[in-house]
Structure formats: structure tokens, C-alpha cells
Structure 1
Amino acid sequence: MIRPSRQKSRHQLHGRVLLICSLLASALLTPPQRALAGFTEKQLAGFEVTELTGTVSEALSKEKVIEIVDPEGHTEIYTVGLDLAPLGLQPGDEVSLSVLDGLLVDLEASQDQELSFSREDIILPTDMGKLKKGTRVALASGTGRVVKLDRQDGSLSLMGPFGGINNLDVLVTPENDPLEDLKVGEFVDFRLVQPVAVDVRKLPTPARGPSVFTPPLAADLLRSGTTLKAELLESFEITHLHATVTRLLPDQQVLEIEGPEGHNILVTSAVDLNTLRLRPGSNISVDLLDGLVVELRPSTIKALSFERQDVEIAGDFGPVPKGTRVAMATGSAEVVRISRSDRTLSLRGPFGKVHNLDVSKRMPGKAFDELALGDFVEFRFIKPVAIRITPLASR
């Protein structure tokens, strides 16, 4: 879904929801023969379910629309495939949701260099898995700019005209791979099914205040001979994105970047930072080996903790040479988002930040499959590693 800027005013938020409500109302007039709007049942069945928590900012029961602020501070608007009225949701309520993630079904290079967006809503004529007959589904099309790309797991992030980011799964078939020749920074014409909430649960409001701490940028390299087996990196996925440098520590090959969604990400670098002449504020193109969870178990301690240690890779792994410094993090955290089909997890740590992580395929499935939102876990994960950094002209 194309999300409005996080800096928008309360008045703008309400106006955006009212606009969507008018679009929803007009969708009821959609003729039955256009009910699929060109989307096949197979395409709609390609959704993945994500579990997440959030704070309600608007809930419109009649129109079946909910607007939430997710754990990372993003404002998201979902159509809902169930009756919201019994929940009696009000702004400020905490909820957990089961969401069928946004699915991209058409994508091609665009001749336009301007961002655009249009929306059409339909009523499903038949059951489609968790999407039941009569569910309202939002369809969107327009022109967006690629800001993040992961070919291995078929995901894409597009910047839309409202200043927000579309995080999408891409429907890849043997006959058609829309991501094959795509590059970060390009403009594309798209058609997509927006995320749909298929379950909404009201939660007790947590007594959680804002964190005043920041994660440590530096850590001593363990000199005890501790190394990380390169085989662990086999589960890493490569993500391409544009980012802005926020902090630098070249001597330790560590930098902090702000990604396209406004997240700050601490990464170690397989590239010699001293050769790049970077400084805070520099715009860069980055290829990242995404953060990877290698140990995960339920925690008996309902508190958040974090410790960082740096180790060296024991052998060459693709573009990452032997001896590369890798940051390891251990501690306890709260589960705030789960996607079981693509084995991704979001953990809220003690600094108030949310870590979006892949779960190693080498980890026993039971540890991951039995997790629930709100669980506290003890973890060990490899922080993201930059394997290519290209300075960009400031925009």
C-alpha cells in the first residue's frame, strides 16, 4: 500500500481516510462482470499472511477500513475482510492483525518520470482462500520509483506520489520474472492488490514509554579466535536499496544508514569505507546481505536486553572475503511481526527500534513456527553486511 508521509498532520490523516471511504463507496457500483478487474484467482491466491501489531489511528466499521501506526512508526490503511463493529475500536487502541500482504501482479519499465496512483475497489464474487465471497479488495495502479529490491525472495519497495513506500511481494512465474532486469532508482508502471486484513484482535494497551537510548555503533572485535562459519551466510538474501549515511566509523568498517522507509540500519561493511570518502548525509546505493537470525528460543525474562559483539568470517563466502568483520547481536526482544511463509521476523529491542530479520533455514522449524505476537524471545542474529556501496549524487 502506498503510505502517506509520517510527518502529515492529523487533519491530513483524516482527509486521507475520507478520500479512501469515498473510493470504497464508489466501488460498490462495480459491475459484476468486472469483479476480478483482470486479476485471476491464481494471482489473488499468491498472497502471504503477515501477523503484526499496531496502534489504531482511525477505524471505520461501516466502510471496513482501518488505519494503524505499525511497530516501525508507519501509517498504514487496510481494507478489512471481517466485521469491525463488534470490536468497538477507537484511536489509540492496540491491535494485532493478520494481513494478506500486498501482491504485485503487473510491472514494466515506465516512460514517465512522474509518480502517479489510482485506486479501484471490487467485491470478490467467490471465496479465494482466506478471502471470502463479498470481501472488498483494493486494486491500485500507477507509476512508482524502485527504492528497494530483493530478487531472491521476490519482494520490491516502490515510492509513490504520497511520499510513502509500497512494500510488495512480486508474482514470479517461469514465463515471467518482473524483477529480472529491474534496477533501484528506475520508474515503473505497476498494478497491484493492496494488503487486506483478514483478522483484527484488540489488545491491552502496553505501558511502554519512548526509549532515550541509541544502539552502540562500535564494539570490540573478539580476539579469542572466535569466528563465524561462512556456511551460516547461505541463508542470507541480497537486497538492493538507496540510503543515506547517518553515522560512520571507518576504522571499524561500520556505518549506520537511513533506508527508504526512514529506518536507521546499522551495518558492517565488506567494502573498505576509507576508500569511499563518505560522510553523514551522503546518498549511497547499497547491496546488503540482510540481517539473519541464527538462534531463537522463548525467553522466561519479560524484559528487553541487547549486547553486541563483532566476529570474523572464517572463510570466503561469495563477495564476502575471509576475515570480514561481522556484527553479532544477542539479547531478548518482543515479537511484533511474523511472516511464516517467507520466514521473516520483526523484533522490538530495548532501544525502541524494530529489527526486520530473516530466519536461518538451518534453524529448527519448531522454534519459529510456535512463535506468537507479543512473545519475548532470546535471540542471536547477524546484523546486515554491506557488500557493495556506491556513492550517489545528492538529490
Structure 2
Amino acid sequence: MEVGHPNDNITMPTDRNGLVGWVAESPGRGTVSLLTSCLVTTALCTWVVIHPRIDGRWKRQVLHKFALWSKTILAPELIAVEAAQEFVQAQTIVKRASKTTNGELCLLQAFYIGMFGIRYHTSLGTKILWPNQFLWLLDQGLLDWSNHGAWGLSPATISDKGNADATVKVFALLQIGWFVVQSIMRTAHKLPLAPLESMTLSYIPLFAMAYAYWWIKPKDIETPSEIELPYMSQSQRAHFDSMAISDVFDREGTKQQESLWNIWTLTPRMFEQEAAEKAFEQEEDKYNERKQEFYDHIHACSDSQCEENGHQRPLPPLRRWETTLAHWDPSLYHSRILWPIACIAGISFPALHLTSWHSIFPTLVETWLWRISAIVSMVAMLVFMQFEKVVFRWRDPLMLIKILSPALYLITRIIMLVGAFAAFRAADPKIYDTYVMSSFWVHLV
């Protein structure tokens, strides 16, 4: 095998360990081209895979997409799992609406509803029509499905609103394909990859997974459909309003709704509201049982005697406002097929970093920092994913683990991200070696 060496292009002297600093460009590889290839591949992957929710305000739409992009760079596995949860919700909407829509509601429409595609007018502005509210309107016969086109729900209308750029997608696929082929060829020729190249490769499977789940989801829609709600009785309207998952994303002029911090907030899912309602109903059932037991007992003794003997009047359940840090869709969490796949996806990113186990770093400390960080981030993510719902409660004996596991994951991710770039200050000169045929290939970057 013939290998080209970039020794003539080294503009910084090698250190006593034979490591090199900045390497100028050549017909082979230099530091700039290596950095550019990795950064362009990562940027294209993240930007193309992101499918933001609909806001209707250009500034917030852009900021929200930037927030998603930042989170995707830092924690791509979470975006992949989020895409899986959104796909499961869309499937649930289609399944539940099959009878009331004669099976006509498709995944495209379900995604559109779940990404804040429909808002209804109020006296103060507009509010989001949540998926569970939409399904309830159908079940109650308040929404005539045959007139869904007037609600902006026809597939053609939704597709026309999308701004997916086919040219960008094609360029991204070509760039990713070239990067993967180049990495495979280097490995086949026993040439090492830079840590940043290993990190870039680690993104690709997760982005492919997220994009597969979001393949049908509309992309970059700027304006939602605004509608008038059908007439409802007072009791119907009260029940409809109680089904709202959150009011943070409504546009009625409140301080919380206008806060820019909302761009970082995850899109709530309807299973969260349904899980809360189910838990409250269970508490009510227990309360009714205890209340019946209490009233049955007082037939045998006076009220005061019952209280003296420890038979207190039961207190009705109260709705608690909880700070939820994470919540998995039950249909995903309890699936024997999807959940193992989600767990594998959750640890795949740091696991793929272990391909750089034998990579040369500037110091021994950095070498072991990289290795330990990859292992710790795998374990931390796997531990965190075992909790179906993480609610902030100081009395929870596992609260420390629930907080420390994502914190450790974040810290180790930052360490690996910084380490990948810091490694260029004193790198293995072989990462710049090229095999002869590569000089004749057409580089995309």
C-alpha cells in the first residue's frame, strides 16, 4: 500500500513524542480540510434532520430551530428518541381517529396537528388545538371530518406549506456518503481517523434514525391554520379547556407566553396529559373507596369515636403541579421491540466514540478523559432512560440519581466535544496521511 505523507506541509514543529500541530493544505489532507469536512457534514446532518414545531412568528421560528440545532449537536440521541416519541404519537392519533374519519386521517395530518399546526381563536388571541382535543371534537361529533379541508388539514395544503429543500437534502446525502466512504477507505488502508472524525461518524446513525421517523413529518412550516371552534355547551367547553396540555405556547399576551425561554422547551405530548388524568382518576377511585368505608363504619359508632380510634375522614385528592424533567411515552417505554431499540440509540453516540480508544491525544490525561467520558456518558444515559417519568421531588430517594445521571452525561459530552478539537494541537501525523488513489477522487468539501 502506498501512503502519502504530509510532512512537508507541517508548519509547526513536531514535539518530542512525534506529534504534529497545524498542517498546511496539500494534495492530500491538511488541518483546514479535515476540520471543514467534519463541520460541514455535522452541520448539514443536524440542519436537515431538524423538524421544528410551527410558531407563526418568524423570529421565534428561527430561534427555536437554532435551539433544536444546538441540542442536536450536544445530545443527538435525545433528538432521535424525541423523533420516535413523536412518530408513536402520530400513529396513535391515526389509530384513534380511524372510526370518526373513515380511516382517512394520515400520518402527515397527524404530525401536522402534533406540531402546533392548528390554532383556534379566542377573545385574547389564539390557542393551540392539542391532539387530544382534536380527537375529542371528532368523538363528540362537533367536528365534521368531511369539512377538514376548511381547517387547513388537507394533505395537499400541508405539503404546500412545507419548505423542505430537495437540493439541500441531496447535497447532505452526498456529503454524508462521501464522508462515510472516505472513513471506511482510511480504515481499510489502516490509516487512523482524527477524534473529530470519529465523533462526526457517531452522529450519522442517530440522524438517520431521527430522519426515518420524521420522513413524513412536514418541515419548516411557518404559519399554522387558524380556525373558529364549533359551538359547544358550557359543560362541553369546560371539559374541552381542561384537556389543554399547556398554555405556554398559546398567544394571548401573557408574560410566560412571550418569554424567549420557550424556544428551548420540548413540545409536550398528549400522553403526558392522559397519564396525569389517569393518575388523578385512580386517586379519586381510592378516595371514593376510603370515603365509603368511612361512612359504612360510622353506622356502628359516633363520628368522634371514629376519629378517636383513628378513623379520619378521607381528604379528596388534589391536582398537583409537578416539575417534570422527563417523561417517556408509555407505548414506547413498555414496548418489547421499540424500547430496546430506543435504549440502543440512547447509548450509541458515546459508544461509537469508543472507536477512538487507541487514538493518540496530546497527553495521557486527555486520552483517559476521552475513554472514561465515553463510558460514563453511556452508563449515565442508560440509567436515566430507565425512569419512565422523572418528577422533581426532594423526598424521592432516587432523586439524586435522576438528577446526577443527566448531569454526568452533559459534563462528559462537553469533555468529549472539547477534547475532539483540542486534539489538533498535538495530533498523530498519520491522521494526515493519504493513500495514493485519494488524490484523484472528487472531494465534496
Q: TM-score, structure 1 length as denominator?
A: 0.23
Greater Rg by CA = 2
User: Which one has a larger percent helix, Structure 1 or Structure 2?
Assistant: 2
Select the structure with the greater relative contact order (CA < 8 A; seq sep ≥ 6). 2
